[in-house]
């Protein structure tokens, strides 16, 4: 049988179709134009034209994070490709499966500083799992297939395929499936049996064990397995910023989120434990504080599919390399036999933790400045929307309040930029999530600073019938930076006032801006208006909705572990002494 002869551009489109890709986000330009011509004829690929390539990257991230599928974005060479870099770095930090396809100048022009030339393979090498440069049309199918495989297996992450213009234009035999040869790339998914036995022995002996759960549980799809293991052991569970929803907030064993703005029980539970059951977490500095003082008396079981993470920051007494789902399944089976229906005795441990839960509940102090309390706004969005919704947050105070005050009951319901902390993530990520999960209610919870970085994608949403809801938590400031200036810089507010929601000036007026983009736009300034606005947004599905919530600029995120100190110094509220008093 003779294989079809296709241009490299046609091969790109056909390869994506055969891989099962259905949605791509992109923006054309000269070097990728050959691919956009056959893309127009595809009956299987929906292309969504964004207004900025960064929006394409974040939309692909949101698509992947909401669905578990590989997100795909396309851009041209030079500035088109470099505009993807922030999203690619973001995906790398948060282990998001992403396939970025970029056009490149003709192969004979590479290295000549040709128009719109940039070495995007070199630029992205530190922030991708792998980057391919394709200069021949016959190499296109293998490169696309390999990139898709790498992005979606092992520790998920971004892969870039850069295709020269002549490789797109020239023809070659299209061979599918291609032979994908990746020497050295053999992700370990199945754990070693001896390590499973050793982990079970530590858990059985521990008096104060605690689950330290990271985003790897979400990426692995291991939430159900985690629930079964946690209930078998009976130990407390903490879920990091990237793992919110991996374990139900309503479960009595859940202590909440640990870290810089985590709950006191979660932070202190980790500090006072004698065993960390670490699943798909990487001992990030925002969780550990000063690493050498983190959980000082605890032994460590560390499960991760990426062997480079184990021992990188904290020595693991029992290192287990493998897919979280497979590891937890085997560990549960081993413990079921070892425990013989009897949980380890943790009476004193739970007495201590329950005392913390009672003394330090998550809450906030209402302000009397005449503005809305941002915590209340976000809490009501979560309560009215329910656990089946998806919430994508920007970065800053509103991100932390969203992680704290919305109750997450299922994985893939919370999307945010955790590792990179990328402002502008929320709106395009919500857009991508809505494309991936059109039947779900999708909120972008954004700050007035973040919103101004990528709000142009509201035009994309309106034109493509992607009715996301956007809640702007408008404190007229770069809120988290202002909080640090309040606490650590003598209230010297250097360049943090945005003038977006003050009494005297409102630039821009977000309601007028949203209306210009074809959205339903609402401004909310009174507490009694909050619920009605949220319900109207939920009921409106013929266009995007933007709600401008005018909140107080002095509200702060608490609890807080200041940077550079031990987690023992966690503060429950401003001007409060550190929680830990040295006694259990």
Write the CA distances from 394 to 262, 401, 416, 473, 489, integer angstroms.
Answer: 18, 11, 6, 10, 24
116 is catalytic: yes
Write the CA distances from 60 to 55, 220, 233, 380, 532, integer angstroms.
Answer: 8, 18, 37, 28, 32
Sequence-ordered list of residues with C-beta below 8 angstroms from that of 31, at least 6 positions apart, any chain: 76, 77, 78, 80, 102, 103, 104, 105, 116, 164, 165
440 burial via Cβ count (<10 Å: 0-12, 13-18, 19+): middle
Task: Judge contact between 475 and 553, C-beta under 8 A.
Answer: yes
Neighbours of 543 (CB within 10 A): 18
Neighbours of 409 (CB within 10 A): 14
Catalytic residue selected from 116, 169, 197, 456 = 116
Write the CA distances from 395 to 8, 63, 185, 400, 491, integer angstroms.
Answer: 39, 18, 34, 8, 21
Shortest CA distance to 22 belongs to which of 71, 61, 68?
71
Task: Judge contact between 163 and 110, C-beta under 8 A.
Answer: no
Shortest CA distance to 548 belongs to which of 537, 558, 540?
537
Shortest CA distance to 393 belongs to which of 435, 423, 363, 438?
423
Catalytic residue selected from 4, 44, 115, 535 = 115
Task: Judge contact between 313 and 282, C-beta under 8 A.
Answer: yes
115 is catalytic: yes
132 is catalytic: no
Q: Which single residue is written with the structure tokens 């891989």? A: 19
Task: Judge contact between 378 and 531, C-beta under 8 A.
Answer: no
Catalytic residue selected from 10, 53, 225, 309 = 53
Q: Which single residue is written with the structure tokens 């809640």? A: 471
Long-range own/partner contacts, residues 81-85 (CB < 8 A, 24 or more apart):
81/53, 81/118, 81/120, 81/123, 81/162, 82/118, 82/120, 82/123, 83/52, 83/53, 83/54, 83/57, 84/53, 84/54, 84/56, 84/57, 85/123, 85/124, 85/127
Backbone angles phi, psi at 307, to 5 degrees: -60, -25
Q: What's the alpha-carbon Rg for the chain, to the nearest Å?
A: 25
Shortest CA distance to 278 belongs to which of 306, 249, 252, 250?
306
Catalytic residue selected from 117, 132, 165, 330 = 165
165 is catalytic: yes
Catalytic residue selected from 480, 506, 556, 560 = 480
Alpha-carbon gap, residue 415 to 468, rounded angstroms: 14
480 is catalytic: yes
Neighbours of 201 (CB within 10 A): 14
Go through 370-394 and write b for each residue having 16 or more CB atoms within 10 A of its CB, e for each that does not. ebbbbbbbbbbbbeebeeebbbbbb
Q: Is the bond leading into 559 cis (omega within 30 degrees of zero)?
A: yes
What is 268-279 written as a DSSP string? Answer: HHHHT-SEEEEE
The residues annotated with a catalytic role in the active site are: 53, 115-116, 165, 480
């Amino acid at each position: 049988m003779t294989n079809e002869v296709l241009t490299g551009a046609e091969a790109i489109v056909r390869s994506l179709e055969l891989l099962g890709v259905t949605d791509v986000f992109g923006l054309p330009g000269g070097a990728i134009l050959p691919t956009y011509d056959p893309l127009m004829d595809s009956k299987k690929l929906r292309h969504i034209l964004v207004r900025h390539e960064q929006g394409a990257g974040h939309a692909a991230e949101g698509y992947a994070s909401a669905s578990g599928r590989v997100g795909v974005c396309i851009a041209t060479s030079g500035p088109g490709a470099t505009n993807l870099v922030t999203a690619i770095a973001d995906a790398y930090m948060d282990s998001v499966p992403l396939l970025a396809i970029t056009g490149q100048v003709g192969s004979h022009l590479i290295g000549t500083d040709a128009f719109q030339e940039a070495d995007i393979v070199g630029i992205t090498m530190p922030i991708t799992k792998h980057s391919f440069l394709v200069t021949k049309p016959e190499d296109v199918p293998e490169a696309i297939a390999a990139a898709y495989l790498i992005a979606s297996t092992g520790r998920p992450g971004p892969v870039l395929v850069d295709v020269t213009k002549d490789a797109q234009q020239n023809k070659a035999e299209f061979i599918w499936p291609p032979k994908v040869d990746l020497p050295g790339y053999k992700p370990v998914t199945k754990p070693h049996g001896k390590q499973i036995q050793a982990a079970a022995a530590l858990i059985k002996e521990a008096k104060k064990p605690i689950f330290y759960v990271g985003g790897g549980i979400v990426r692995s799809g291991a939430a159900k397995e985690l629930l079964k293991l946690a209930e078998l052991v009976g130990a407390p569970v903490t879920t990091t910023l990237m793992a919110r929803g991996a374990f139900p907030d309503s479960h009595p064993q859940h202590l909440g989120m640990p870290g810089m703005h985590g709950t006191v029980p979660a932070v202190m539970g980790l500090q006072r434990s004698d065993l960390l059951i670490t699943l798909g977490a990487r001992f990030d500095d925002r969780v550990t504080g000063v690493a050498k003082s983190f959980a000082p008396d605890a032994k460590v079981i560390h499960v991760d599919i990426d062997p480079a993470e184990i021992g990188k920051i904290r020595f693991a007494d029992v290192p287990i390399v493998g897919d979280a789902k497979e590891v937890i399944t085997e560990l549960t089976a081993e413990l079921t036999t070892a425990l013989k229906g009897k949980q380890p005795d943790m009476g004193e441990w739970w007495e201590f933790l329950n005392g913390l839960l009672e003394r330090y509940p998550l809450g906030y102090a209402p302000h009397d400045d005449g503005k809305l309390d941002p915590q209340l706004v976000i809490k009501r969005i979560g309560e009215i929307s329910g656990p089946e919704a998806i919430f994508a947050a920007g970065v800053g105070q509103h991100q932390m309040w969203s992680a704290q005050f919305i109750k997450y009951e299922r994985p893939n319901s919370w999307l945010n930029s955790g590792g990179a902390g990328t402002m502008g993530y929320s709106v395009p990520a919500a857009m991508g999530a809505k494309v991936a999960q059109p039947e779900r209610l999708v909120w972008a919870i954004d700050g007035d600073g973040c919103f101004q970085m990528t709000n142009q994608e509201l035009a994309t949403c309106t034109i493509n019938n992607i009715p996301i809801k956007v809640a702007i938590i408008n404190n007229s400031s770069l809120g988290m930076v202002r909080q640090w200036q309040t606490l650590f810089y003598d209230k010297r507010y250097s360049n943090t006032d945005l003038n977006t929601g003050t009494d005297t000036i409102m630039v821009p007026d977000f309601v007028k801006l949203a209306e210009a983009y074809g959205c339903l736009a609402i401004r909310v300034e009174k507490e009694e208006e909050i619920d009605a606005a949220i319900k109207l947004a939920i009921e409106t599905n013929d266009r995007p909705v933007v709600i401008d919530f005018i909140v107080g600029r002095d509200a702060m995120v608490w609890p807080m572990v200041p940077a550079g100190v031990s987690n023992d110094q966690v503060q429950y509220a401003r001007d409060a002494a550190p929680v830990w008093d040295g006694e259990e």
